Structure 1
Amino acid sequence: MSRTLSPVDPDWPCQVKAPGSHDWERTAARWLRDLLPARYAGYSTLNRHPVLLARHAQLQIQHEMRAVRAALQTSRCELPPLGVAETVIENTIRLYAVELEQLGRLARGVRLVGDALVTGGGTHRRR
């Protein structure tokens, strides 16, 4: 059984086969679809065109990052009037910080997969 090595870039998602390997685009599309809200699975245009799926996933993650940043920046002033305890606020701030890191990694992975889809599975460029 031959094995295709995964891309060197550490941000390449482990759920997606290496560009150019057998069936890699199907694994890319499945991973990208999983990043979107479930209702998007019904949109055949996105499912038939992985490049569009990558573009929409990138936009979705950007919006999620903006929402998490807003929640993080407003936690200290908006949560106390709601009766949220200081320890809970601190835990929430840590949660948002971790989520931003995870979303950043996902965004880099989506960008790499999208670039590979655009180039047809050739070598992808780092940004």
Structure 2
Amino acid sequence: MFGQFQQSQLRIEVDAPANIIGDSLLHSAQLRQWLFPQRFDTGLPERLHSGLTFSSSLGPLTIQHHVQLADSHCLRLLLSQGIDGYHEWYWGEGWVQSRLEGISLLPLNLSQTLNLLRLREFVARSPSS
């Protein structure tokens, strides 16, 4: 893989309970909404689960995701192709944390920051938050 090794950890406060944050990260329909215009494989199950492998793309960039762990407060994805590394999500009442490490030509910290802000905006608009 070409690129530079990068790592980033960010934690933000969100105005939502843990179950709403988790649903936004684990339910494929909700992922598609807040990560738009990123595209995901068709046929994804309703909920991400351990062992699942899928791809997402943004323009010409494709990233392969392998769900290593998916539970009520954690999502760990092993990444390949456009990013070789991993992405961990942890959440609780009113907060979400993202840890991203990998080799990529992309500015990972910038995309991670934008995704966290988009997630915070999405869960704040959720009807149950």
Q: Does the alignment reach a TM-score above 0.5?
A: no
Q: Which has the larger share of helix?
A: 1
State TM-score, norm by structure 2.
Answer: 0.28
State TM-score, norm by structure 1.
Answer: 0.29
- Say which one has the larger Rg: 1
Higher relative contact order (CA 8 A, sep 6+): 2
Q: Which has the larger share of strand?
A: 2
